[in-house]
Chain A
Amino acid sequence: MQAYLKLDHIDKTFTRGTATTEVLKDINLTIEKGEYVSIIGHSGCGKSTLLNIVAGLTGATNGGVLLENREVNSPGPDRAVVFQNHSLLPWLTVYENVKLGVDKVFARTKNRAERDAWVMHNLSLVQMAHARDKRPSEISGGMKQRVGIARALAMEPKVLLLDEPFGALDALTRAHLQDSVMALHQKLGNTILMITHDVDEAVLLSDRIVMMTNGPSARIGEVLEVPLARPRKRLELATNASYLKCRQRVLEFLYERHSFVEAA
């Protein structure tokens, strides 16, 4: 397997005054180009911390992140993030929010009209072109998350990082967006690293599922390949034997071997 994105012996220790907490311990993971990898684990085990390290928003204590064999340790548009709470800038319209990144990334390679067209293209990918002039306060939670995805996609990232992108949404909207992301992945072939705490979501979307043990000092407990052909159909999978087996494996890992001890 050739490594596109490589997490190399990552440790993370938070220090506040004299108190230190070791959150992550010796995380190793290689991700291929075009692969969809999910990280699942109990709340507080350090999933967001790990994603932030990959994004460059947090520094690792030891170890590092390699993207195409080059170390990356500061944030950049090649690792665009879709944040859990959308993080759209409320004073900008939907269009302007996406444009912010596009203007920076394609400052030299695209002219004004091309950048405008590119913004609109990405908004249409997530079916949000109709709301281009709305402000975030005027659209629904699911729509905001769509715009967040468009903003990240529009930067043409090498790796797309999703931090519980559907966590704050109701079940129906969530299913709808999962289908959208699956379709986008199919169409664009992005490399995606996604955090989730939803077992069905992980199995439905991923090529591999990375299961993390409980913190402190969380490690990668197990990595599960999901041998399901794409495109996947939510309804057909419900009775698919390998789908159910994968689901079972993840559930066992989370609730038997590493059941959540702390009070949530």
Chain B
Amino acid sequence: MSMPAIKTELSAAAIPQAATAAPVVTMTPKRAPRAETYARLAKETAARVVPPLIVVALLLVVWELICRRAGSSLPPPSKVFKDTRELILDPFFDNGGIDKGLFWHLSASLQRVAYGYSLAAIAGIALGTLVGQSVWAMRGLDPLFQVLRTIPPLAWLPLSLAAFRDGQPSAIFVIFITSVWPIIINTAVGIRNIPQDYRNVAAVVQLNPLEFFTKIMIPAAAPYMFTGLRIGIGLSWLAIVAAEMLIGGVGIGFFIWDAWNSSHISEIILALFYVGIIGFVLDRLIAGLGKIVTRGTAAN
């Protein structure tokens, strides 16, 4: 049985958990002897890592058994590893065109996400602040947002291709438009939920609007903003793979599509493994950032 194939299953198992479950709150013991702490830490880690490993191992065995038979349409894990060995071992080769290592495909995709998502974060927080603060902006814009946010990411692609006449900005636009809605809506809710008490404090101290924004609004709404940002990053990553399949060029989405066209099923499976892991890492990154930024805010 092969290592990367094990991870394939691991990533698939990890994503839904990351998307739905709130970050696990670990109770840090006040002050225990060091050895005891390590022992407990090891025990806790084992308790969390061992069960999924067992499940993954079992799934791999089942997969291997099912797909091993001659004439099976999907390769068993062992074959996946054999087929993609070179791709795994050398992710950095570059033969020009789209014949590049997986590193280059993934970094191209991540770059698009970085652009689109950054724009969405800035625009989303700005718009959300506006909408959350003004009753009229809320009444005027909220129904629009509620309709627009239900449009599937890919439905925007033809329109943005028509507008930009180029794949790269179109892909970035699709990411932007996909991830901006949850950021706007959550920010607006966060701003609207700022307790009257905090507004009163700001009024008595006579904070000016800019100070009110940076010292009260942003920290008070930060937990909501990060909820939106976290949903947004997940949607971005979903959208980029789909968008790249259609626009072509370097990128993990087109890599998958290309592999399908050349019937390299094993390469698809490998690519899915990477997509899953990166999506998971992105989600955790934003969640971690949120935890650092909102330290103290949530606890009241």
Contact = CB atoms under 8 A, between A and B. Distances in A.
A205 interface: no
A231 B239 CA distance: 72
A104 B118 CA distance: 33
A79 interface: yes
Interface stretch (A80-88, A191-199, A254-262): A80-88
Contacts of A74: 203
A89 B204 contact: no
Contacts of B204: 55, 57, 75-77, 79-81, 101, 155
B219 interface: yes
B200 A90 contact: no
A91 B200 contact: no
Contact of B215 (A79, A100, A155): A100
Contacts of A105: 205
Contacts of B86: none
A55 B201 CA distance: 11
A173 interface: no
Contacts of B44: none
B206 A87 contact: no
B201 A137 contact: no
B281 to A, nearest CB: 27
B200 A77 contact: no
Interface in A104-139: 104-105, 135-137
Contacts of A92: 296
B297 A75 contact: no
B205 A104 contact: yes
Interface string B186-222: 0000000001011011011111000000011001101
Nearest to B222: A91
Contacts of B200: 55, 57, 75, 81, 83, 87
B203 A57 contact: yes
B205 A90 contact: no
- Interface residues of chain A: helix, strand, loop or mixed (majority): loop
A90 B296 contact: yes
A80 B203 CA distance: 10
Contacts of B201: 83, 87, 89, 100
A137 B197 contact: no
Q: Indicate the member of A74, A81, A100 with the most B CB atoms within 10 Å.
A: A100
Interface residues of A, number: 25
A76 B203 CA distance: 7
A135 B300 CA distance: 9
B299 interface: yes
A90 B197 contact: no
A189 to B, nearest CB: 21
Given A87-B197, A100-B215, A75 B296 contact: no
Contact of B300 (A76, A136, A155): A136
B297 A91 contact: yes
Given A77-B205, A91-B219, A100-B215, A85 B296 contact: no
Given A85-B197, A100-B215, A75 B206 contact: yes
A90 B207 contact: no
Interface in B262-298: 294-297
A89 B219 contact: yes
Contacts of A155: 204-205
A137 B298 CA distance: 10
Q: Indicate the member of B205, B207, B299, B300 with the most A CB atoms within 10 Å.
A: B205
Given A83-B200, A100-B215, A90 B297 contact: yes
Contact of A137 (B205, B207, B220, B299): B299
Contacts of A87: 195, 197-198, 200-201
Contacts of B216: 89
A137 B296 contact: yes
Contacts of B294: 91
Nearest to A58: B200
Contact of B207 (A57, A79, A83, A104): A104
A260 B72 CA distance: 83
B219 A75 contact: no
B205 A83 contact: no
Contacts of B198: 87, 89
A102 to B, nearest CB: 9
A75 B299 contact: no
Contacts of A56: 203
Nearest to B298: A90
Interface in A146-191: 155
Given A75-B200, A90-B300, A91-B297, 12 more contacts: A75-B204, A77-B204, A85-B197, A89-B216, A90-B296, A91-B294, A91-B296, A100-B201, A100-B207, A104-B205, A137-B300, A155-B204
For the complex of A and B, 7 pairs with smallest distance between CB atoms:
A87-B197, A75-B203, A137-B299, A91-B219, A91-B297, A90-B300, A101-B205
19 contacts: A55-B204, A56-B203, A77-B204, A77-B205, A79-B204, A80-B204, A81-B200, A81-B204, A85-B197, A87-B201, A89-B198, A90-B299, A91-B296, A91-B297, A104-B205, A105-B205, A135-B296, A137-B300, A155-B205
